[in-house]
Amino acid sequence: MAGLCWMAVTLGLMLSVGNSSADFTTLPRKGLNEIVNQLWNTYRPSYKNSPSGSIPPMFSVAVNIPFTDKKEDVYGFSQVIKDDPPETVRDWMESCKVYKGQRVVAATLLKWPNVLRLCPNEPVQWSIVKKNCKKQEMTWAAMETECPGVVCITDHAEYRVLKNFATLTKNRKDNDVLLFFVRDSPCGTKCADKDHPENILGEIAKWNNKWKNYAFVFSYVFKLEGQPLPDKELIEALKNLGSVIGLENIYRCNGDRCSRCFSEKAADNVTKFCYSDG
């Protein structure tokens, strides 16, 4: 498992039109944003030792949402919560593990030495590290003392979720919606780079074979160490993502505002809201 630089909090929703499934393309500001806000408020992880007022850690949540035409429900989201209780999902993420449930797969960024602060007593998950340390089982805290100087891998949240995607297909039905959420927009130096051997575009492209309805949604524009990236790089990353899932399926939803990232089905019509906070 190689380190991937795509740091994004995004939420994916299937957005196809049909008589037997909801048409979210006509509700980009209300319907989609309502679902994103529910996911954000329900499954967002937090760490007790995080600075007050800080944004949530890098995390990703993929949700297989069953269709329902009940007006009091949000596209069957109550069933998601029933099948995958929020507290359980958050506990797994906050333990630096990948949660794999009936309708939800969720994970945070797994990065050294962050895990020493966040999950010191949890088991090391990198098999190559355990092999190099000649340890079958050890905690992150033990790794620091017993294997000093070991070169570690960084697994980003969306990558960890995508590598465990098979669990979502077990209860999938034709009218279900796939919602993939990552905190930030994709960066283009690895994950959304078509030519990079470690990009995740190939995994995302597989959605077309499993779901008819899906979308990708993020809340924040990606920054590197807190510094904004050139608009050109952020736009190119969105275009590359759109080339495998469709430009019309990419959204930024942040609080009260929710917008499709491409105003038309043309790669040149990029909504500024999706690559700039200005």
- Domain ranges for the chain, please list them: 10-111+154-274
SS (H, E, C) 151-192: CCCCECHHHHHHCCHHHHHCCCCCCCEEEEEECECCCCCCCC
Q: What's the whole-number average pLDDT of the chain?
A: 81
CA atoms within 13 A on the CB side of 170: 12
Tell me if 35 sits within 8 A of 76, measured CB to CB.
Answer: no
| 3-class state of residue 244 by DSSP | helix
- pLDDT at 12 (0 to 100): 38
The pTM for the full model equals 0.85
Q: For residue 54, is pLDDT > 50?
A: yes
Mean pLDDT of 4-12: 34
Cα 90 to Cα 57: distance, rounded to the nearest angstrom:
12
Per-residue pLDDT tens over the stretch 192-246:
888 877 778 988 988 877 888 888 999 999 998 889 999 999 999 999 999 999 9
- Name which of 67-76, 102-111, 149-158, 196-205 the model is least confident about: 67-76
Q: For residue 143, is pLDDT > 60?
A: yes
- Amino acid symbol at 141: A
Backbone phi and psi for residue 80, each to the nearest 5 degrees, phi listed first: -60, -50
DSSP H or E stretch at residue 10: strand 10-11
Distance set, CA 92 to CA 7, 43, 142 (Å): 19, 11, 20
- Amino acid symbol at 72: E
For residue 90 the two structure tokens come to 């958050």
Per-residue pLDDT tens over the stretch 162-202:
989 988 877 788 888 899 999 999 887 777 888 877 778 98
Tell me if 239 sits within 8 A of 19, measured CB to CB.
Answer: no
CA nearest 244: which of 162, 170, 153, 173?
Answer: 162
CA nearest 192: which of 1, 3, 4?
Answer: 4
DSSP one-letter code for 103:
S
